[in-house]
Structure 1
Amino acid sequence: MTRLEKALKHYFGYDSFRPGQKEIIEETLNNQDLLIIMPTGGGKSLCFQLPALLKPGLTLVVSPLIALMQDQVDALKDRGIDATFLNSTLDYEEMRSRYGAILQGKIKLLYVAPERLLAEKFRTFLDKIANNIGISTIAIDEAHCISEWGHDFRPEYRQLKQFRQRYPQVPLLALTATATKRVQQDIIEQLGLQNPSVHLNSFNRFNIHYQVQPKQQRSYHQLLQEIRSQSGAGIVYCLSRRNVEEVAYKLQKDGIKALPYHAGMTDEKRTINQTRFLRDDVQVMVATIAFGMGINKPDVRFVFHYDLPRSLENFYQESGRAGRDGESATSILFFSMGDWKKIDYLIEQKPDPQEQRIARQQLNQVIDYAEGVDCRRTILLRYFGERFSGNCGQCDNCLNPHPIEDWTIEAQKFLSCVARCQEKFGMKHIIEVLRGSRNKKVEQYGHHLLSTYGIGKDKTKDEWKMLVRSLLNQGLVSQSNDGYRILKLNKRSWEILRKQRTVEIAVKNKIDSQTKPQNNPYQAEKEILYEQLKKLRKQIADLHSIPPYIIFADSSLKLMAQLQPQTLEDFASISGVNDYKLQQYGEQFISLIRTFCQQQQLPVPLPSRSQMTTLQLHHRGLTVREIAAQRSLAVNTINQHLSELIELNQPVAINKLVAPEKQKIITQILEKVGDDSLKNLKETLGNDYSYEEIKLVRAWYRRRHQTQ
């Protein structure tokens, strides 16, 4: 482990860098000017935060929004890192105290808004810092704000060039999530960057499932159904304030915890609503584009565009609020030409014909995306000058319909709930428990206290009924004939619970089976533990008045649920657990995991630690060769790990490893010649298919066709 990797683990709890981070940090430590374009969720902040801790002096971070700087400072403090911000929310005494701590060298990262940075009084204070402590780096976040060609232009950013002249030896870092080539050049010129190294990461957000749905006449009902099918937090974007208020009100009436956010609300009300959303007190934020930059919530699982965005850049930015943690997320655009006409009318009101022309061009690009039949990623990435060819397997245009679906996870949830209700109840009651019903019967029997209570909210009652009928028809669960239709577990039920049998059902009456994102195949027992870990995280976060994701990311909780660490040493190996978090939270989470494991009586086959290390790096977006190089292992070894992980029903993104069209052909050959001889498969398929591709698809095939 290198010095940088040791520092990464010590301060941030991660075992490895994301693509591009290490090179950027090395150049930052060499005091080089940098322009960093890295998509939302790619890890931009770490590129200046880690060097700040390794270099002498203070790192100054220019951030455009109070909420953004406060969120980053809270996250740093929760890692035991000395950081602070100065803004208008602080009273005189607090401001004075922070000034003192900075001049005493107790702070490593200072966040300020550009307006404060430009004030003459603050410049004098900066000179004191430069003379007494030293300024190691000036990092300018959301640097696209400097360009009139960007989507959030801030005139104050244009004046930041004077700090190049005031402190010529201090390196400048400009960071942003989106910038066309024109905006990139504008940033370099306006900041006066000296021979900057430009790091342009891919704009491809591989974990986001993109889809477009025709906006139906009963569009609100369509939106409601989609929200009810999702789990986790989400954002619904609307074009007008009126729509925001109306949709938020309807969702509240229909039992969805939702709040509005738009520029017409008071600052206090917007802050309250945003805080409640960040802290998971509500599930959905209904907002205009005003709810955008600075929303640093990494565990947003879905973003729905209820109305048409005005540009592809706005669409990309808004969709990018989903899945910042790298976990699976969904973006749906509800498309109607009626929305196009509304925006076109607004464009017509612009007095400048040139502005009208640019606005219409941007709107037409959105229409091209919505009506396009090509891969959504190809269309989206082309806008940013990035080429993407092939089938992404993660958008509605690339996915093929699947009338037969694997519902093993849902079956495990259902049968686990039957067992915990002591096999004394029928289908209706079990579904009520799974969906978190508060009816008297559920509470009378204490079933609202069960670990399976509420873990099935992502499915409708009709979908659960469809599953149960299929289980009964296939003999995978039994039912009494005494009129009460009490459900009983049989031998096959226990095989499902022990992960020895998969469940496939015919899914009928679905509007579009291909639009369902692929679920990460976490086992039901692990999902139950994951939900319990989330509840503990929320309790701790509420106690400290911070958002839950600051305690641990969802990805860290999922690893805890997978690996089930029961000692501090094992807990420390979880990605996202640094020394400070281990000391602060380790015992609480380990205690919960131990209790959970003691309550389980089913055997739980787990991947090896080496396989899980490979899986973690795979989730971070590294290729097979990159994983092999980082782990000093052969490429064949990594491919073997991934094949074995697929057979163990672990969340391997096979579409990233083997093109979907190749998967289809390999599967057809497997059906014909069987899966026993890899050599026979290779000879039949020919040189266009590698052994590695065949092995991966064969593992997937075997998982789907386990012995019945």
Structure 2
Amino acid sequence: MDKSISLTDELKKHFGFDQFKGSQQEVIQSILDKKDTFVLMPTGGGKSLCYQLPALILEGTAIVVSPLIALMKNQVDAIRSISTNNGIAHFLNSSLSKTATNQVKEDVRSGTTKLLYVAPESLTKQENIDFLSEINISFYAIDEAHCISEWGHDFRPEYRRIRPIVQDIGSAPIIALTATATPKVQHDIQKNLGMSSANVFKSSFNRENLFYEIRSKNKAPEQIIKFINERKGKSGIIYCLSRKKVEELAETLQVNGIKALPYHAGMDSATRSGNQDKFLMEEVDVIVATIAFGMGIDKPDVRYVIHFDVPKSLEGYYQETGRAGRDGGEGHCLTFYSYKDIQKLEKFMQGKPVAEQEIGQQLLLDTVAFAESALCRRRVLLHYFGEHYDVENCCNCDNCKSPKEQIEGKEMILMALNAVKEVKQQFKSEHMVDILIGTKNAAIKSFKHESLNCYSKGEDVDSRLWKAVYRQCIISGFLLKDIENYGMLKMTSKGEEYIQHPYSFMVVKNHDYEAVVEDMSSNTGRNATGDPELFAMLKDLRKEEAKKKNLPPYILFQETSLSDMSIQYPTSLEELQNIVGVGQGKARKYGNPFIDLIKKYVIENEITRAQDMVVKSIANKSKNKVFIIQAIDRKMPLNDIAEAKGLELNDLIHELEAIVNSGTKINIDYYIEQELDEDTVEEIFEYFHDDSVTGELFEAYEELGDDFSEEEIRLVRLKFLSEVGN
């Protein structure tokens, strides 16, 4: 590759983005340098772009090995959407007719095709090996590479034959990509592919845009209906553990006027794939599914993932919640938690080999710890994956937005542990709670446990809190459940140590999750749109245009692009290319109807666009602009800046508004803090953040004019636009 070519320019040209995410640029450079490359990047982190962009830049065709036909089709559609040439990407698999297969081979031989997607099964066919041996291969990309490893959660034996086949076809650099790989799996992948010396890139597992929330499972269907109705028109996935529950919940949603369909492995394949397509094409808003649904879905604008049943493991939880907000926009991850569900899952494990039960028990324990923790959800989740997260408050999970009440639990922990010792470690937690609160049931009487020292010692504490205390003892390693003996509680050395040397231990009050928790995501401020009316019109147009082309709507423009259009009002193809996620190809291919709609909307509603305002106010005043920005950097009082330039303060504020609208960030906090009181600033700022529909001044004067001066409103609006908008 010509070193003078800027990767950022190539990114903008093909995909319409101004900057790379995470380690994408380093990964791409590694491929361009013809190095074997291993990429561990979480769902939604942008793995696909890591091989798509270098494939478009390099000579030859990149061979992408992918496990699912649905996944291949989605990716091929996505690449074709950024180009005027449909031959740029193809898939080669058993679903193609002979004519279609010949067309694919013709495009590849002619050099038109930059990405060729193949299933591992197709790769092993001799006719395909012979064909691929004739062409110029830029590199091999092994997607979902954990399928190679017997330790991976989706092991596919065909994947282990990739290396010898690659050697038969012809040597070229290999990039292996996966979202979930423990060190053991990573080592197995690299060893099997013969790429032990590959450049390794591991990205953070932190998905900042996802809001994590755990709620009580009290009247869950009613809560879900309310939750979805508050997000009308937005796409969501609901996961249930059983097929029966999938069918029941989908039906409940349908009779309540929600466009929902079921998806599980027990359905016939035509119905199942039909339901999936309707979800992708936005004919329905919600899919209710078992975990069979998801791996083949590359829908970027799923706005929420709901777990009706608590997941069996945090790995599963992370994978499934990761399907929300893949475009970087809003993503709400809501889980309904009841400890009874955990007990059900424990019962399902009985009868399995002890080793398997022990692993399952540990995975469930990690899930309970996550659900019941008062700590930041993000911190607990990342710690589980071996990543340190030292932010005090992530501001985007239920525990950080609404901290739970905690109480000192040292005495309760000691009482709970000593009671287990007193009954000689022969009983389950439910019976221990009955002893501590002084219950007089048949079991207590038959074992004569009313005569124990610990009997009724904890009668002042609610039974639900005692249950939570015992769970905390297990999570903290003071006690363990003896799987072979029906869950009897056993003391550990750590528990014995605690009795000898107790220390402060905070317990979260109300661990039972029986109270309905209020929806806390309403003010996350994610995926906000500038003009809601235009945004809705753009979404409708996208749906119409997609239907004409028989493509999922997000292939045309992602929701974040529509949102940016509703803020910037682009009225030419050139301006459209400045919208996030819109490159030259996409603008030319799909842009005209959107430009026509926006142009008409701007004229009919007499909208003064920010870019027009900038041209009018500062096009011939660049020297003034530079002086003003430098003076503000030096914290010069606004009155002095105005005087120096022969302006009234009102005219200077007008200049500042033009500067901020052009995208330049300025900080006038030093002046605002001196001239305005704190409550005034807070109230006006909150108005623009939470209540303003358009962000326009006339609207603000109407709402706030009785309480605040025009100058106060304009100054705080400047602060808001600079901090939040730029």
TM-score under structure 1 length normalisation: 0.70
Q: Aligned-pair distance for 1:579? A: 2.0
Structure 1 residues 522, 109: closer, same or farther in 2, change over 3 A? closer
- Map 1:323-402 onto structure 2 (within 5 A): 323-350=325-352, 352-389=353-390, 390-400=392-402
Equivalent of 1:102 in 92, 98, 108? 108
Equivalent of 2:18 in 15, 22, 36? 15
Q: Tell me, yes or no, if the aligned pair for 2:321 and 2:333 is still in contact at 8 Å.
A: yes
Aligned residues: 534
Q: Rg: which structure is higher? A: 2
Equivalent of 1:38 in 36, 41, 44? 41
- Map 1:153-192 onto structure 2 (within 5 A): 153-163=155-165, 165-166=167-168, 169-192=171-194
Q: C-alpha offsets along residues 332-364 of structure 1, whole Å, 9 cap, x if unaligned? A: 0100122112221222243x3222221221121
Indicate the residue corresponding to 2:273 in structure 1: 271
Indicate the residue corresponding to 1:111 in structure 2: 117
- Are 2:541 and 1:536 equivalent residues in the alignment? yes
Instruction: Point out the more displaced range, 22-31 or 184-193.
Output: 184-193
- Are 2:227 and 1:229 equivalent residues in the alignment? no
Structure 1 residues 607, 245: closer, same or farther in 2, change over 3 A? farther
Q: C-alpha offsets along residues 662-691 of structure 1, whole Å, 9 cap, x if unaligned? A: xxxxxxxx9xx995239999xxxxxxxxxx
Q: Aligned-pair distance for 1:120? A: 3.1
Q: Tell me, yes or no, if the aligned pair for 1:303 and 1:318 is still in contact at 8 Å.
A: yes
2:388 & 2:54 partners in 1: Cα distance? 32
Q: C-alpha offsets along residues 572-618 of structure 1, whole Å, 9 cap, x if unaligned? A: 222222222222222211110111112224767689989xxxxxxxx
1:578 & 1:169 partners in 2: Cα distance? 33
Structure 1 residues 604, 99: closer, same or farther in 2, change over 3 A? closer
For residue 534 of structure 2, give the secondary structure of its aligned residue in structure 1: helix
For residue 397 of structure 1, give the secondary structure of its aligned residue in structure 2: helix
Structure 1 residues 15, 219: closer, same or farther in 2, change over 3 A? closer
Letter in 2 for 1:372: S
Q: Aligned-pair distance for 1:516? A: 3.7
Q: Tell me, yes or no, if the aligned pair for 1:520 and 1:651 is still in contact at 8 Å.
A: no
Q: Aligned residues: percent identity?
A: 43
1:698 & 1:648 partners in 2: Cα distance? 21
- Are 2:28 and 1:25 equivalent residues in the alignment? yes
Indicate the residue corresponding to 1:548 in structure 2: 553
1:607 & 1:319 partners in 2: Cα distance? 41
Indicate the residue corresponding to 2:674 in structure 1: 677
Equivalent of 2:597 in 559, 584, 592? 592
Q: Aligned-pair distance for 1:47? A: 0.9
Q: Aligned-pair distance for 1:34? A: 0.8
Equivalent of 1:3 in 1, 6, 27? 6
- Map 1:110-259 onto structure 2 (within 5 A): 110-128=116-134, 133-163=135-165, 165-166=167-168, 169-216=171-218, 218-231=219-232, 232-259=234-261
Letter in 2 for 1:384: F
Indicate the residue corresponding to 1:320 in structure 2: 322
- Are 2:93 and 1:87 equivalent residues in the alignment? yes
1:198 & 1:366 partners in 2: Cα distance? 30
1:561 & 1:220 partners in 2: Cα distance? 34
1:275 & 1:651 partners in 2: Cα distance? 39
Q: Tell me, yes or no, if the aligned pair for 1:302 and 1:322 is still in contact at 8 Å.
A: yes
Q: Tell me, yes or no, if the aligned pair for 1:237 and 1:287 is still in contact at 8 Å.
A: yes
Q: Aligned-pair distance for 1:560? A: 0.7
Letter in 1 for 2:149: S
Q: Tell me, yes or no, if the aligned pair for 1:179 and 1:384 is still in contact at 8 Å.
A: no
For residue 238 of structure 2, give the secondary structure of its aligned residue in structure 1: strand
For residue 398 of structure 1, give the secondary structure of its aligned residue in structure 2: helix
Unaligned runs of 5+ in 2: 405-514, 616-629, 635-655, 690-699, 708-726
For residue 374 of structure 1, give the secondary structure of its aligned residue in structure 2: coil
Equivalent of 2:56 in 53, 73, 80? 53
1:650 & 1:363 partners in 2: Cα distance? 52
Q: C-alpha offsets along residues 154-212 of structure 1, whole Å, 9 cap, x if unaligned? A: 22222223245446741110111222222222221222214111111111110010000
For residue 261 of structure 2, give the secondary structure of its aligned residue in structure 1: strand
Letter in 1 for 2:213: Q
Structure 1 residues 521, 326: closer, same or farther in 2, change over 3 A? closer
Structure 1 residues 73, 602: closer, same or farther in 2, change over 3 A? closer
Letter in 1 for 2:585: Y
For residue 45 of structure 1, give the secondary structure of its aligned residue in structure 2: helix
2:127 & 2:351 partners in 1: Cα distance? 43
Q: Aligned-pair distance for 1:699? A: 9.4
Equivalent of 1:578 in 570, 583, 586? 583
Q: Tell me, yes or no, if the aligned pair for 2:374 and 2:403 is still in contact at 8 Å.
A: no
Structure 1 residues 360, 25: closer, same or farther in 2, change over 3 A? same
- Map 1:459-538 onto structure 2 (within 5 A): 511-512=517-518, 514=520, 516-520=522-526, 522=528, 526-538=531-543
Instruction: Point out the more displaced range, 205-214 or 264-273.
Output: 264-273
Q: C-alpha offsets along residues 408-458 of structure 1, whole Å, 9 cap, x if unaligned? A: xxxxxxxxxxxxxxxxxxxxxxxxxxxxxxxxxxxxxxxxxxxxxxxxxxx
Letter in 1 for 2:274: I
Q: Aligned-pair distance for 1:71? A: 0.4
Indicate the residue corresponding to 1:558 in structure 2: 563
Q: Tell me, yes or no, if the aligned pair for 1:280 and 1:548 is still in contact at 8 Å.
A: yes
2:581 & 2:29 partners in 1: Cα distance? 21
For residue 361 of structure 1, give the secondary structure of its aligned residue in structure 2: helix
For residue 287 of structure 2, give the secondary structure of its aligned residue in structure 1: strand
Q: Aligned-pair distance for 1:23? A: 1.1
1:61 & 1:602 partners in 2: Cα distance? 46
2:601 & 2:172 partners in 1: Cα distance? 52
Q: C-alpha offsets along residues 30-84 of structure 1, whole Å, 9 cap, x if unaligned? A: 1111111112222111111111122122110000000000000011111115010
For residue 677 of structure 1, give the secondary structure of its aligned residue in structure 2: helix
Structure 1 residues 697, 167: closer, same or farther in 2, change over 3 A? farther
1:224 & 1:207 partners in 2: Cα distance? 23
Q: Tell me, yes or no, if the aligned pair for 2:610 and 2:662 is still in contact at 8 Å.
A: no
For residue 173 of structure 1, give the secondary structure of its aligned residue in structure 2: strand
1:87 & 1:395 partners in 2: Cα distance? 42
Letter in 1 for 2:360: A
For residue 399 of structure 2, give the secondary structure of its aligned residue in structure 1: coil
For residue 400 of structure 2, give the secondary structure of its aligned residue in structure 1: coil
Q: Aligned-pair distance for 1:365? A: 1.1
Instruction: Point out the more displaced range, 185-194 or 158-167.
Output: 158-167
Q: C-alpha offsets along residues 107-162 of structure 1, whole Å, 9 cap, x if unaligned? A: 1111011111123332222222xxxx221111000112222332222222222232
Letter in 2 for 1:255: G
Q: Aligned-pair distance for 1:313? A: 0.8
Structure 1 residues 49, 580: closer, same or farther in 2, change over 3 A? same
Q: Tell me, yes or no, if the aligned pair for 2:129 and 2:169 is still in contact at 8 Å.
A: no
Q: CA RMSD in A?
A: 3.5
2:351 & 2:40 partners in 1: Cα distance? 34
1:636 & 1:542 partners in 2: Cα distance? 51
Q: C-alpha offsets along residues 363-396 of structure 1, whole Å, 9 cap, x if unaligned? A: 2111111111110001111121111122100000
